[in-house]
Structure 1
Amino acid sequence: MKKNTDLIARIKQVDGARWSQQKTVWHIPDTIENRERFKIESLANSFPSTEGIAHIEKFIQWLSSKRYSPSTIKTYSEALKSFLIFYREKQITEITNEDVIIYNNEFILKNNLSASYQNQIVNAIKLFFRTIQNIKMEVDKIHRPKRGHILPNVLSKEEIKDLLYALNNKKHKAMLCLIYSCGLRCGDLLNLKPENIDSKRGVLIIKSGKGNKDRIAPLSLLIIAMLRDYYKEFKPTKYLFEGQIAGEAYTARSLQNVLKQALEKTKINKPVTLHWLRHSYATHLLEAGTDLRYIQEILGHSSSKTTEIYTHVSTKSIQKIISPFDTL
């Protein structure tokens, strides 16, 4: 059975949405509101028009020729599909900026979808309509949703230590330790190959990261020793971390399960994700006095503004402030 990725994306935004490892499905609380929100649509309305399907295929080919990453191509094409399903009765060349506003109100907001999902839709629509000729759409006037000021989630160094050393399996421990010690994204770790470890220079080479950019991150001596110990036992053939089949990269879902196992062995009662380790790494570097410019380079941020958000969660300066309550 083919997955309905649009429906899954909507479900994941709902409060109380959970992944069932046993049934391998996303599920939400059985409430009247959720039943109303996710009424089963007719089969005919679950797909774009014939014209829309053809344009989506062309859009995917265009993105591929521009060397967008497979994950970006999937995200943009699915976002565009959602938009074109909404306007399946309308010719694509007749779609206007007003239609985008209506879609945002009647679909995005009505279904309580996130601003980040709306932003993906905007990115997809802008790119798509720039490839279509003789349209009524004014691409540069498509507005983006106002971004909320959301702080990154950070664990203390004590919590990080408890989490990383909760596992006895050398592979599992090495993966989580490497994510934290180099500020990696999940995809960064899973794409690593043994040759990306430069122990003589003490750096990790991250190839084709987000935005198809290469970067390097410093490797601690402790991590190098841990990786050598892991390598001797597991002897990976192609990827640094492989699954049960030699030569195949470890999967994102399996890596998430590793984190889940580690959390179950600690007293950390927070909804920790793998990305929390990256946020914690950046924050701890900042608190240790590392220049923001270096942190930006290590994390692979295109803009310094992205890195500056860690100044809002660092406690180094805040802890020096004496509360007036203490002087009463």
Structure 2
Amino acid sequence: MLPEIEGFKKWLRRRAPKASTPIHYSSDLALFFTWLGKPPGDVWVQDIDAFIEHSLVQGHAFATINRRLAALRSFYHFLTVEADDAPKNPVLPKRHFIHLGLRLPRDIQDPDLEKLFAVIRGPRDRAMFLLMLRCGLRVGEVRNLSLKDLYLDPSFGSLPRLWLHGKGGSQRVAYLSSQPLAALEVWLQIPPRVRDEAVFLNRFGRRLTVTGIQKRLMNYCREAGLWVTCHQLRHTFGRHLTEARVAITSIQRLLGHARLRTTEIYLHISDAQVQADYDTAMQEIARRLPLNGDEA
């Protein structure tokens, strides 16, 4: 790996020690410079154009391409911070970033959830994936969960809760309903092989990685004959809250969204009022204009 990338990775880690951004950005940069075969000082705007074309031909998702462009732009910003004679930033937002339209969250249908959880029998894994489905935890928040973050015996009138270290190093609180609380308590009753602050350990007695958690879900999906992701469990939590007519501001807090606009997209996939209005309208339209072709 280039020494400039190593320096950039350390710089990101100092700014956000708990974030996964240093890992992803350094990987994206290594991929780009390996493909290009040039040092950072010789990269031009046209090289970024060519990289975007290459990525599109390879079939990469627009969001993936934009993340790699963000990594490159952040990397060159870092170089200007470190040196007065740093190369000019070759990534131009208006020229290079791909505009993304509104993308609706992909949730999991309830019958598929039943199939999935029917094969998740281990107490550790059942607790992990119920925290995503019933509390809306991100996979990184599950991975970062430590024993000191658990508040399972609250004062009278309060719910059990988790103190989460989330996206971008931010912190938030997640409440525990009876189902994930019971699953978590079952897991915590099993004595660990080693003393560790992490709630979820691998077979070597170390904190599970994000990749390790994702692989566990992949194995269960294969057994259940379906394909879902960890983040889809979180999306399904959002849908379930919407269907239960929870206030949108409460859903925002429960999902840990910084902007209400991010939360509002869940109304597009399951808005009870819109569904009721549509059903009423279609019944009235069908009564006035039945279009009974079979009777003609």
Q: What's 2:14 paired with?
A: 65
3-state SS, counterpart of residue 207 of structure 2: coil
Indicate the structure whose relative CO is greater, using CA pairs within 8 Å and at least 6 residues apart.
Answer: 2
Match of 1:137 among 72, 89, 98: 89
Q: What's 1:207 paired with?
A: 164
What is the distance in 2 between the residues matched to 1:60 and 1:256? 23
Matched letter for residue 100 of structure 1: I
Tell me the percent identity: 25
3-state SS, counterpart of residue 271 of structure 1: coil
Matched, 1:100 2:48: yes
Please list, as runs of the form range in 1=range in 2, the aligned pairs for 1:1-328 lying within 5 A after superposition.
Answer: 53-67=2-16, 69=18, 71-89=20-38, 92-105=40-53, 107-130=54-77, 131-132=79-80, 133-134=84-85, 135-137=87-89, 141=93, 143-199=96-152, 200=154, 201-235=158-192, 237-238=195-196, 239-246=198-205, 248-260=206-218, 262-263=220-221, 270-320=226-276, 321-322=278-279, 323=282, 326-327=286-287, 328=290
3-state SS, counterpart of residue 10 of structure 2: helix
* Contact 1:296–1:304 under 8 Å retained in 2: yes
* Contact 1:188–1:206 under 8 Å retained in 2: no
* Contact 1:177–1:223 under 8 Å retained in 2: yes
Note closer, same or farther for the CA distance 1:98–1:318 as it changes in structure 2 (3 Å cut). Answer: same
What is the distance in 2 between the residues matched to 1:255 and 1:241? 10
Note closer, same or farther for the CA distance 1:189–1:65 as it changes in structure 2 (3 Å cut). Answer: closer
Matched letter for residue 164 of structure 1: F
State the Cα RMSD in Å. Answer: 2.9
Of 223-232 and 290-299, deviating more is 223-232
What is the distance in 1 between the residues matched to 2:74 and 2:14? 13
Matched letter for residue 89 of structure 2: M
Note closer, same or farther for the CA distance 1:83–1:254 as it changes in structure 2 (3 Å cut). Answer: closer
Note closer, same or farther for the CA distance 1:123–1:207 as it changes in structure 2 (3 Å cut). Answer: same
Q: Deviations over 1:230-264 (max 9, x none)?
A: 32234574322222233x12344553454355546
3-state SS, counterpart of residue 161 of structure 2: strand
Matched letter for residue 62 of structure 1: W
What is the distance in 2 between the residues matched to 1:249 and 1:205? 17
TM-score by length of 1: 0.71
Residue 101 of structure 1, CA deviation: 1.9
Matched letter for residue 177 of structure 2: S
What is the distance in 2 between the residues matched to 1:77 and 1:175? 28
3-state SS, counterpart of residue 167 of structure 2: coil
Of 137-146 and 171-180, deviating more is 137-146
Q: Deviations over 1:162-191 (max 9, x none)?
A: 533543333332222222111111121122
Residue 80 of structure 1, CA deviation: 1.9
3-state SS, counterpart of residue 102 of structure 1: helix
Q: Deviations over 1:115-168 (max 9, x none)?
A: 122112211121122223443436665531111433222224454345335433
Note closer, same or farther for the CA distance 1:234–1:282 as it changes in structure 2 (3 Å cut). Answer: farther
What is the distance in 1 between the residues matched to 2:56 and 2:24? 19
Of 66-75 and 132-141, deviating more is 132-141
Note closer, same or farther for the CA distance 1:159–1:104 as it changes in structure 2 (3 Å cut). Answer: closer
Note closer, same or farther for the CA distance 1:250–1:316 as it changes in structure 2 (3 Å cut). Answer: same
What is the distance in 2 between the residues matched to 1:158 and 1:314? 16
Q: What's 2:293 paired with?
A: none
What stretches of structure 1 of length at least 5 have no aligned partner?
A: 1-46, 48-52
Note closer, same or farther for the CA distance 1:309–1:173 as it changes in structure 2 (3 Å cut). Answer: same
TM-score by length of 2: 0.78
Q: What's 1:19 paired with?
A: none
What is the distance in 2 between the residues matched to 1:198 and 1:186? 20
Note closer, same or farther for the CA distance 1:69–1:84 as it changes in structure 2 (3 Å cut). Answer: farther
What stretches of structure 2 of length at least 5 have no aligned partner?
A: 291-296
Of 207-216 and 253-262, deviating more is 253-262
Matched letter for residue 266 of structure 2: Y
